[in-house]
Amino acid sequence: MVTPSSAPPATRPGDAPARPTTPTPPPQTPDARIAAAAALVAPPPPPPAPRTPAARQPAAVRPGVPKPPPAPKKVAADEPPPAPGDLICGSCGAGNTPNRKFCRRCGASLVDAKVQARRSWWSRLWRPEPKHGPAAGYRPRARRRFPTRPVVSIFMIGALVALVLSFRPEINQARITVLDRIQGNVTVNPTGEIASSEAPGHEADKIRDGATNLAWSPAAPGDGVGQFVDFTFAEPFRLTRLLVTPGASDVEKDYLAGSSPKTLSLVVTTSAGTQQSVDVPLQDKVGLQNTSFGIDDVVAIRMAIAATYRATPDTFVSIAEVEFRGRT
């Protein structure tokens, strides 16, 4: 049974159909209006997190080609460094004793592991390898370490000093020889020449005139043994070389016409008043002849004839030229 209020209104022929009515929304409370406004101004939701890429697959390896072992990784800070002779793990870099087959830290195979090289003895002497501390709970005894490095250093320095002192004369002589070769080739001219005797035209000054065709000869013919010429010098010098041109000339015909000294005897006087005798052997040939010395503080030289070549009672022994060289 339909009540009059709920029955739809009757329509007449020719009338337009009635429009359906929209229900009126219920009134909103103030809190609902505030929530709706907040929803309009709220920030957009965050974008979704990026997907994690899948792990890369290992590269393909050609069959029959061995894969190179990976480079050793750095050992952890609390891991002791490998000792000499240890097997270094290629995966974690830990040191293992040579009798192990697998790494004690990561369990990797040690078939291709490298062996830790041993340092040289001199490197270990100056920089000893660090020693690992005692195990937990161990109480070490106090002991004094032997000072290896200072003792070895003192020993080496002492051995070097002893070696230098033992060869000190040889070292000093080598130094003097080097100085003589570098600075000892300077001509030192005497201030005067005095002969024991002089033949006419063959005075003592002819022995230092720079001409090889003029010579000094003793007054009497013969071997002239014992005849001498004295040379004096203005300042002391070190005598290093004596240059002598024996005979009457450096021309062979004139040289063979007379006689020449075979041995000269030098008596060297030093500034301290001491004297040193030196024999100078000469060859029987034409030209300049050189003899080396090493006499310090020379102030005077007596050059005497000790032996003669081709001496006859009618010939005169001659010396064409003499030159002294040294360093002051």
**Residue range 54-106, pLDDT digits in tens:** 556 666 666 666 666 556 555 555 667 788 888 888 888 888 888 888 998 88
How far is Cα 84 from Cα 215, in angstroms, rounded to an integer? Answer: 84
**Residue range 214-231, pLDDT digits in tens:** 999 999 999 999 999 999
Query: Phi/psi at 31 (nearest 5 deg)?
Result: -65, -40
In the chain, count H helices and then E strands.
5, 10
How far is Cα 227 from Cα 240, in angstroms, rounded to an integer? Answer: 24
Global pTM value = 0.51
Minimal CA–CA distance to 294: which of 248, 239, 218? 239
For helices 148-166 and 168-183, give the axis angle rounded to 10 degrees: 60
pLDDT of residue 2: 42
- Identify the burial level of 146 via C-beta atoms within 10 angstroms of its C-beta, where 0-12 means exposed, 13-18 middle and 19 or more buried: exposed
Beta bridge partners, 292, equal 241
Work out the end-to-end distance of the chain between its first and last CA atoms, rounded to an integer number of angstroms: 159
Q: How many angstroms separate the Cα of 256 from the Cα of each of 144, 241, 245, 249, 316?
A: 88, 26, 13, 9, 11
Q: How many angstroms separate the Cα of 97 from the Cα of each of 23, 71, 85, 108, 133?
A: 90, 19, 8, 14, 18
How far is Cα 155 from Cα 79, in angstroms, rounded to an integer? Answer: 38
| Those residues with Cβ within 8 angstroms of residue 293's Cβ, 6 or more apart along the chain or in another chain | 239, 240, 241, 242, 278
Three-state DSSP class for residue 252: helix
How far is Cα 322 from Cα 229, in angstroms, rounded to an integer? Answer: 11
Instruction: Tell me 218's DSSP state.
Output: -
pLDDT of residue 167: 81
Three-state DSSP class for residue 126: helix
- 259, 246 contact by CB (below 8 A): no
Instruction: Mark 132-142 as b/e (b = at least 16 C-beta within 10 Å).
Output: eeeeeeeeeee
How far is Cα 317 from Cα 228, in angstroms, rounded to an integer? Answer: 12
Mean pLDDT per segment of 10 residues, for the chain of length 328 residues? Answer: 46 51 58 66 64 61 62 58 83 87 88 81 66 54 72 88 83 76 85 94 92 93 95 94 94 92 96 94 94 92 96 94 92
Q: What angle do CA 131, 135, 139 make, to 5 degrees?
A: 95
- Tokens found for residue 292: 């080396």
